[in-house]
Amino acid sequence: MNQIGLKDYLESKASEWVGYNRPAVDWMITERGNRNNRLVRTMHDFPQFGEVVKQIPRPLTRQDVYDCYEEDLYKGFIATLLWNNMRQEPFHIYLYLPFLVEPIETVRERLAKVQEHLKQGDMSLEELFNAMNNPKQLQLATRINQTRFSLALDFLSSSDKIAHPLLFNQWMMSVHCALLLEEEGLSQSFYDFEERIVAGKNSSLAECYEDYCRRFGDIALWAGSGNPEFLMDWINYSEDGYLAYLLARDIIAQFRIKQGVLKLKETSNQ
């Protein structure tokens, strides 16, 4: 793998990821308490949530999630949370308490506002991403972290623009960072290598997100698909896509060695 660049690898695998469909997710929900066993919540504590969950298909496909959004924005968002489960681990209710205690109608209104901005195209991806973290400014936050919110943007968007909103998790940060290193030689403007790949050293995380979406859009256009979702899903959910992530991590590690941030012996465990 060290003999091939990340972008070359992605391009060489285009026949695999163009049109890729992630296998259906056989999701499940656990109702155990938190790690200290000081709190136990079940779906009985959130009856409206429980009723919505009963309506979500199992197993769950990407098209099912789109269909859920068409039926009801709250239902679609719950389906997004279930779909996002990369390793098909249980959905732990206690991890989502800040979200579950919010009135369902409030969540619907916020998602509708996000959807309207996406349809009108009156906010950049950077602005939408910032809005998630500034509820007092635009009241778009749903108290869910950036990874899950970015995936909701993906499902809510019907845009065919190059900068299509995409899932932005730690894996995709690694891939984006490695592409920057290959294409520009230095990505300190987005990533702080002393903290591994924490975005936002000299630029905002939102700027980083928009750049990431644009670069993936460019790769998708090169492959003739025009849909970067295929590539995003392939990296996150397929075996060969996982190799792309590992290659990205290797590129980052080699860069950190050259910068003197990472000692050579540290790489043996990565």
The pLDDT of residue 116: 87
d(Cα 167, Cα 103) in Å, to the nearest integer? 25
d(Cα 76, Cα 83) in Å, to the nearest integer? 10
DSSP 23: P
DSSP reduced 3-state for 268: helix
The pLDDT of residue 269: 43
DSSP 189: T
d(Cα 50, Cα 53) in Å, to the nearest integer? 5
- And the tokens for 248? 């990205």
DSSP reduced 3-state for 92: strand
The pLDDT of residue 74: 92
d(Cα 229, Cα 164) in Å, to the nearest integer? 8
- And the tokens for 198? 């924490």
The residue type at 148: R
| Residue ranges per structural domain of the chain | 6-18+165-269
Name residues of the chain where pLDDT drops below 70.
Answer: 1-3, 31-43, 86-95, 97-98, 132-145, 158-163, 186-189, 193-203, 226, 260-270
DSSP reduced 3-state for 115: helix
Q: Which residues pair with 198 in a beta bridge?
A: 192
d(Cα 153, Cα 128) in Å, to the nearest integer? 9
| CB-based contacts of 255, cutoff 8 Å, min separation 6 | 181, 193
d(Cα 99, Cα 206) in Å, to the nearest integer? 22
Q: What is the pLDDT of residues 207-241, one digit of tens each?
A: 888 889 999 999 988 888 768 999 999 999 999 99
The pLDDT of residue 262: 53
Query: What is the percent of the chain where pLDDT is above 70?
Result: 72
pTM, to two decimals: 0.82
| CB-based contacts of 139, cutoff 8 Å, min separation 6 | 110, 113
The pLDDT of residue 268: 40
Is-contact 53 114, C-beta < 8 A? no
